[in-house]
Structure 1
Amino acid sequence: MSENSTTSSNGDPDHRGAGHGGADHRDADGTDTCSFHMAGSLPAGGDHLGGSFGQSPTLEAWYPQRLRVELLHRNGVDADPLGPDFDYAAAFATIDLEELKRDIKTLLTTSVDWWPADYGNYGPQMIRMAWHAAGTYRIADGRGGAGTAMQRFAPIGSWWDNGNTDKSRRLLQPIKHKYGNALSWADLMVLTGNCSLELMGLPTYGFGGGRLDAWEPDDGTWWGPEVWDPHAVTSMDEMVSRDERWHGQNGDADYDLQSPLAASHQALIYVNPEGPYANGDPLGSARDIRITFTRMAMNDEETVALIAGGHAFGKSHGMVPAAKIGPSPELAPIESMGLGWHNPQGAGNGKDTSTNGIEGSWTQDPTRWDNSYLENLFGHEWEQTRSPAGALQWTPVDADAPRTPDAHVPGETHALMMMTSDLALKVDPAYREVCERFLADFDLFTTAFSKAWYKLTHRDMGPKHRYLGPETTISDELLWQDPLPDATGAPLGEADLDTLRQAVRDTGISASDLVVTAYSAASTYRDSDKRGGANGGRIALAPQKDWPVNRRTVPVVEALRGVQADFARGGGHVSLADLVVLAGCVGVEDAARAAGVEVTVPFTPGRVDATQEQTDVEMFEWLRPVADGFRNHVSERFADFAPGVAPEAVFLDRANLMTLTAPEWTVLTGGLRVLGANWDGSSTGVLTDRVGALTTDFFVNLTDTDLVWTKTDDTETTFTGTVQGTGEERWTASRADLLFGSNAQLRSIVDAYAGSDGHERFVRDFVAAWDKVMMLDRYDVKGHRRYGPMAA
């Protein structure tokens, strides 16, 4: 939207993405390489990328339909120089936060020659850096956000919308080196945004540390369907004219973004500030803004607060046409040392800076928190003009309008500037109403922006257990944080657990129903934004209790409420959340015993029950699965959610969000199948005559060489396994089942369990994977270690 918040640009062929992959993970020939989106065309063959080292065709280029199972093993301990025993919470606790903030604020007002500060203050550009780091967050799958400092890596770091954020991070390098590994890049970037706001007069709402840096790029997130080559596209208009992420036309009732996407176009953070497809239409821009900010979990008031608050500071840069700017960091020559977007005009920075192509500032004092942005927007009429770089922008009609100082030349002033996306707040009735309230009450605006900024920069951090430091505002209960009550009653002891286990068995509920209920509660977890999971007992609350995929759990939950009540009458206390998980563990133990193996399933008590009032129904609805291969579920809305995407690709995505390895994914699926844990109780993929016993029958029968699998209809979603020679129909299966026999990597894992010596290993590994899933959301005991026995 702006350089301080949601920048965009006119186009340039050399800095649209991250190397040959681009921002949508495509090779130079346009072949899709993302696991989530399965489209693509097979190349003709040969070393079509030139034959040089590192340029041979990838597996995805040769076999575009191949499921990228290896994505489950990215960003592991082998990539981490700090190792598995590094405790970030303990390291962060050694930092004097006040000293760190003083160091940051000193840097913000110490301009350097190689990248001079606008107005002598780096604050505005650091706000933009932090905003763009956090602004990639999207509510549909929880991906993006500031939590792992992914802005340092491709493709995000080389998106056109992140132009010159590389300079902001390089300016922060001395501070990062001073505090070392006790301060992650992710925390430093967000804290620097806070310090910048404070330095310019905004009282910030708080800061929670605890973000763990990633150590390699994320090439598994699907950022959009567009086919484009960063070496060939010559303008922004050309790039977005081929945009495939929108349904309908702007203004129509069916106008919407394809899920799970949130940004309006490829390589942008939010929307094009010149309007949809740079058309200069403020009302059309307002429609795009509402959709994109809603997809990033912001309501109308928060949206206005963020835009108006962010544009109170700094300026936009558009002195040089995009075609003259050098390549992005990922495409820049090796001697650039990771810096991109070289500007050949004049000094290449300062007054010659060009970032998104729009030039100018919104206010008379761009380094002071005040209400002049809204006063200027509503106090003047605006006409379209062009920046020196040729980008569309707006300037006041009246000649006596206030002027803004030059960012580098003392005494020089310029006309104020607005973007099409700014005018959107004026023409949209709902946004205008919020603006008018903020205009009438500056204190209200100040509080709204401060809280919206806090939400923006902390939305992907998960529960408050993960927040570190003295500015965390832990006492506040914010609905978007999925709050949980404090634990009550005495901790459960072993005698209590034995009593509860027997009480669960006395209900007569099958192991299958116990397992599917506990799994349904825990499997909502997604590591992307640390939401979901069994803690809170929200399997019993709206909206989760009403999801069709959870219909088997409803009578089980009611029966467990009876166990809970009986235990309370005996003087004990157990949360429903704990009881659901414990009951699932009982089901697994009984199923293993039925298969001839005695095993104790680990159980860690301490979960609590949230109330309906503590549950944001609209936001939790985003956790509802459109497909869940673990329970053999594909919803009726799958085709609309993911057109052209195979269900097994979403299955892989779910395993990825649950931080499962390929063996864990395989063993969980095989175990859930023989336990009869399909969402609807069907026999599809169960592949055993001993339902409810934890056997390896799924693997043995899936790989039975006497079977031939044929599709049941042209949808290719259900298959029948018949015996060769006799034609006897033995089993039915889904794509989620046959995947483990058709994918070479997964089949190799299946073979490890299907052999004569695989059963006890299977039970042991299933129990370990089960315990991992049940503990995914237990940050109250997991702490801030990325790896180790308690780290998911």
Structure 2
Amino acid sequence: MKPLNNPEGLEKCPFMGTRVGGAIGTGPQNDDWWPNRLQVELLHQEQPAANPLSDENYKELFNKIDFQQLKQDIKALLLESKDWWPADYANYGPQMIRMAWHSAGTYRIADGRGGAGQAMQRFAPINSWWDNGNTDKSRRLLWPIKKKYGSALSWADLIVLAGNCGLEIMNFPTFGFGGGRRDAWEPDRSTYWGPEFWNGKPVDQVPASANHKGHPDEMVHNNLRWQGSPKEAYFDLENPLAASHQALIYVNPEGPANNGDPHDSAREIRESFARMAMGDEETVALIAGGHAFGKSHGMVAPDKIGAAPEAAPIHAQGFGWHNPVGSGNGANTMTNGIEGSWTQNPTQWDNTYLENLLGHDWKKVESPAGATQWTPVDPNAPKTPDAHIAGQMNNLMMMTSDIALKVDPEYRKICEKFLNDFDYFTDAFSRAWYKLTHRDMGPKERYLGPEVPADNMIWQDPRPDRKYDLIDESDVATLKQQLLDSGLTVSALVSAAWSAASVYRHSDKRGGANGARIGLEPQNNWEMNRPEELSRVLQTLRDIQSKFNSQQTGNKQVSLADLIVLGGCVAVEKAARDAGVSVTVPFTPGRVDTTLELTDVESFNWLKPVSDGFKNYHNDKVGYRVPPERIFLDRAQLLTLTAPEWTVLVGGLRVLEQNYDYAKHGVFTERPGQLTNDFFQVLTSMDYEWVPQDQREMLFNINERNGGATRYTATRCDLIFGSNAQLRNIAEVYAADDAQERFVHDFVAAWNKVMMLDRYDVKDE
């Protein structure tokens, strides 16, 4: 007789309730029991212990590769069809273009996450999104190349380079290639891709209640979701997510919610690609250029296709989407359900995609898999060769997302411009592809290899080359004294330096103090940067800079960027000294000043935080339903901080009065401006009780238990360090009676880390 709590009669694994001998499942986890728990452990991903190559210097290894031989090896492989996964048209080029596109295409401008930088396409959830169907085969086809070059060539670089080689063997002139991407060695657990209801299935098979509904016409940047909807379900995922719904890279090729409406598809495309940092011309170039090659696959009904890689049986060995029909590949291939090619020459770079799109009328039909697609109305329209059956000719195909480029007035103008000037179109696609595949790599200092273009792209946040000698220790000492004598307060100097450096985000390596963009639009006017005070600080620093530089007889100069950081270092040293601890804050000169002409103001404005717990800033107008402390954790993760570094920085910044609006929330000290551990001593003291000011529980009073007088006030971003178990244990370290010196030294180390995050000119990352 089967026990009632185990009706299948399966054995139970002693770990985590996993069943053995049948369907795999797990019992409730920590996050199931405690869904509001702040997952501080997300700060400790990418540990060296997970990386089998942590002892290697990737830059040195990559630079030793015979790059031209590497490309020859890739190109030769792309023209050798394998029986286990036959190449369409005997050419794997289009397949590799799709893989590279989908690897890079997860990038989103709002938080810089996604992109090709770590080859996250190898891990869940991305490796099992239905839109990435059969990219597992593409990577496995490349294994001989990866095997040959080993640790000298990351998967992340290989995936993008294979896409470039695929374009080149079909006579497309690529703009360039920069290596230097480092592989991840574990899934990314910190990036929110949307509700994970996919289970390897298209979202149209998911209950409607699981999606965020709304219409693009009603969207305002930084709102949580679309507001209102004159039609059914267009943009399903909330901002800042870039795809139109979960498990997609960009948009549904059949139109929003499979509705087959090109006008709706155009609106969806525009918003999705804008969230990917692409303008209209770049969007058309990418779609028209990418669809000049290869074909789409839809020969088998989706309900016949097996589970995605993460849910596939162990004997599949990492392969997913098993197709039981016929050979399961070649002429029977199933990927997105749409079947056919866009052009008469699917392995040749030409302009026939646009000629076909604009030169024919199109009607809706169904693919063999039942998906909506389009075919020419004219039965005498040109045909396209079958990818696997010699001599067979098929009708041309367009997707709803293709027809969108024809019916949208602005997109159509661009299509016509490209059609009438093929060279211009070629250049536009070349540049857009380069941007797509390199957008998340950060400054050009990180690019490796002989094909890095000399051009500086505005999306790379370029900075001028330094053409002067660096200041030395004697100069630093002189400048420190001038800063101390300037009349600027500790709080003001710290604020300027922290505001400059802490906008950095490791996701796409943008932001940071280098370049002194804190003195330019738009960053100098962000409300969380105390713009009026910042203006006074910058003017004083410019006066010091001008005086110092004018007194130099040689080629030695100090940049404003260096002076901003040095001012913060001086202020921290003074604050520590006033608290009884003598310490020298590290300072590495070499930053340069960029210009407004080298700043893409609209793009850079996306780096403005909607919430920044370091400054107790939270923009309620945005309408985020996520608690501020969760966004704070996200900010810490983007700065690559560990939990101790995050904790010690907050404790120090609070007593140094860094709240954006000069409020006293979290300033748990009677000695503001001194680098004391008072924040932690008050936070952990049982002499106080913590009382919400209202039902929203965003602000709190810190009341004396004896008498009830309010001594301090706090935000959620203050109290989380006493509430969360992991953070509280760290806070207690710094609250101890013997912890003052440890606190100061740990604060200085974390401070220096943040100041140096963008210094790719002197560090190897």
TM norm structure 2: 0.94
| 1:730-759, Cα deviation, whole Å (9 max, x unpaired) | 110000000000000000001111111111
Give the corresponding residue for 1:764. Answer: 745
**Mapped pair 1:731 → 2:712:** yes
Instruction: Report the secondary structure of 2:364's partner residue.
Output: strand
Aligned AA for 1:686? V
Deviation at 1:512, TM superposition (A): 1.3
8 A Cα contact 1:674 1:686, kept in partner: yes
Task: Give how far 1:565 is off.
Answer: 1.3
Aligned to 1:603: 587
Would you say 1:484 and 2:482 are equivalent positions? Answer: no
Give SS of 1:394's match: strand
User: Is 1:94 the counterpart of 2:64 in the alignment?
Assistant: yes
Give the equivalent residue in structure 2 for 1:519. Answer: 498
Residue 721 of structure 1 aligns to a residue whose secondary structure is strand
* Paired residue secondary structure (1:95): coil
Instruction: Kindly indicate whether residue 383 of structure 2 is the aligned counterpart of residue 403 of structure 1.
Output: yes
Q: Find 2:81's aligned residue among 83, 96, 111.
A: 111
Classify the secondary structure of the residue corresponding to 1:781.
Answer: coil
Comparing 551-560 with 106-115, which one deviates more in the overlay? Answer: 551-560
Residue number in structure 2 paired with 1:466: 446
Partner of 1:135: 105
1:240 Cα deviation after fit: 7.3
What is the alpha-carbon distance in structure 1 between the residues aligned to residue 209 and residue 376 of structure 2? 33
- 1:494 is aligned to 2:473: yes
CA contact (8 A) 1:626 1:637 kept: no
Match 2:688 to one of 693, 696, 707: 707
Deviation at residue 239 of structure 1 after TM alignment: 2.3
**Number of the residue aligned with 1:304:** 284
The alpha-carbon deviation at position 556 of structure 1 amounts to 1.1
Deviation of 1:636 after TM superposition, in Å, equals 3.8
Correspondent of 1:67 among 28, 32, 38: 38
Equivalent position SS for 1:330? helix
Matched, 1:357 2:328: no
1:158 to 128, 139, 148: 128
Q: Which amino acid aligns with 2:150?
A: G
1:237 alignment counterpart? 204
Determine the structure 2 residue equivalent to 1:549: 528
Conserved 8 A contact 1:240-1:265? no
CA contact (8 A) 1:708 1:724 kept: yes
Matches within 5 A, 1:122-521: 122-224=92-194, 226=195, 228=197, 230=199, 236-239=203-206, 241-242=208-209, 244-246=211-213, 248-252=214-218, 255=226, 258-473=238-453, 475-521=454-500
Partner amino acid, structure 2, of 1:342: H
C-alpha distance after superposition, 1:286-330 (max 9, x if no partner): 000000000000000000000000000000000001100011110
Q: Which residue of 2 aligns with 1:690?
A: 671
What CA deviation, in whole Å up to 9, does each residue of 1:129-182 have, x standing for no partner? 000000000000000000000000000000000000000000000100100100
- 2:702 is paired with a residue of what secondary structure? strand
Aligned position for 2:560: 576
Are 1:718 and 1:735, in contact at CA under 8 Å, matched by a contact in 2? yes
Question: 1:54 Cα shift?
Answer: 7.2
Q: Structure 1 stretches (4+) deviating beyond 6 angstroms?
A: 47-50
- Asked if structure 1 preserves the Cα contact closer than 8 Å seen for 2:331 and 2:388, the reply is yes
Q: In structure 1, how many angstroms separate the alpha carbons of the residues matched to 2:59 and 2:642?
A: 25
1:783 to partner: Cα distance: 1.7
Distance (Å, rounded) in 1 between the aligned partners of 2:190 and 2:528: 26
Following superposition, the deviation at residue 236 of structure 1 comes to 4.0
Gaps of 5+ in 2: 1-14, 221-225, 227-234
Match of 2:614 among 630, 633, 637: 630
Instruction: Give, in whole Å, the separation in 1 of the partners of 2:573 and 2:514.
Output: 21
Q: Is the Cα–Cα contact under 8 Å of residues 381 and 397 in structure 1 kept in the other structure?
A: yes
Shift of 1:48: 11
More off after superposition, 415-424 vs 775-784: 775-784
Structure 1 residue 51: deviation in Å?
5.8
Q: Does 1:658 align with 2:636?
A: no
Contact 1:208 1:458 in 2 (8 A): yes
The 1-side partners of 2:217 and 2:751 are apart by 47
Instruction: Say whether the 8 Å CA contact 2:119–2:156 is kept in structure 1.
Output: yes
Q: Does 1:58 align with 2:15?
A: no
Q: What's the offset of the Cα at 1:251?
A: 4.4
**Structure 1: distance between partners of 2:116 and 2:179:** 11
Distance 1:72 1:200, change over 3 A: same
State which of 627, 644, 649 in structure 1 corresponds to 2:630.
649
Which structure is higher in RCO with an 8 Å CA cutoff and minimum separation 6?
A: 1
Q: Secondary structure at the match of 1:423?
A: helix
Q: TM-score, normalised by structure 1?
A: 0.90
Alignment length (residue pairs): 730
Between the aligned partners of 1:229 and 1:566, the Cα distance in structure 2 is 62
From 602, 612, 617, give the equivalent of 2:596: 612
**Matched-pair contact (CA < 8 Å) for 1:627–1:638:** no
Whole-angstrom CA distance in 2 between matches of 1:353 and 1:195: 23
Amino acid at match of 1:484: R
SS at match of 1:599: coil
Shift of 1:566: 1.3
Offset, 1:56: 2.4
Secondary structure class of the residue paired with 2:712: strand
- Equivalent-residue separation in structure 1 for 2:664 and 2:155 (angstroms): 49
How much has 1:491 moved relative to structure 2?
Answer: 0.9
CA distance in 2, matches of 1:69, 1:263: 27
SS in 2 for 1:637: helix
Q: Offset at 1:49?
A: 7.2
CA distance, structure 2, for counterparts of residue 502 and residue 252 of structure 1: 55
Q: What is the Cα deviation at residue 253 of structure 1?
A: 6.4
Q: CA deviation at 1:360?
A: 0.3
Equivalent AA in structure 2 for residue 197 of structure 1: L
| Residue ranges of structure 1 left out of the alignment (5+ in a row) | 1-46, 785-792
- Residue 490 (structure 1) shift: 1.6
CA distance in 1, matches of 2:247, 2:89: 29
Alpha-carbon distance, 1:116 to partner: 0.4
Q: Which amino acid aligns with 2:204?
A: D
Deviation at 1:242, TM superposition (A): 3.7
The 3-state SS of whatever aligns with 2:542 is helix
Residue type at the aligned position of 2:346 = P
SS of alignment partner, residue 177 of structure 1? helix
- Confirm or deny that 1:775 pairs with 2:756: yes
Q: Secondary structure at the match of 2:689?
A: strand
Is the contact made by 1:241 and 1:277 (CA closer than 8 Å) also made in structure 2? no
User: Is the contact made by 1:329 and 1:340 (CA closer than 8 Å) also made in structure 2?
Assistant: yes
Q: Distance in 2 between matches of 1:167 and 1:229?
A: 21
* Sequence identity (%): 63
Cα distance in 1 between the residues matched to 2:212 and 2:151: 39
What's the CA shift string for 1:500-556, capped at 9, x where partnerless? Answer: 101101111111111111000000100000000000000000000011111242221
Q: Closer, same or farther in 2 for the Cα pair 1:212/1:510, shift >3 Å? A: same
Structure 1: distance between partners of 2:330 and 2:99: 17
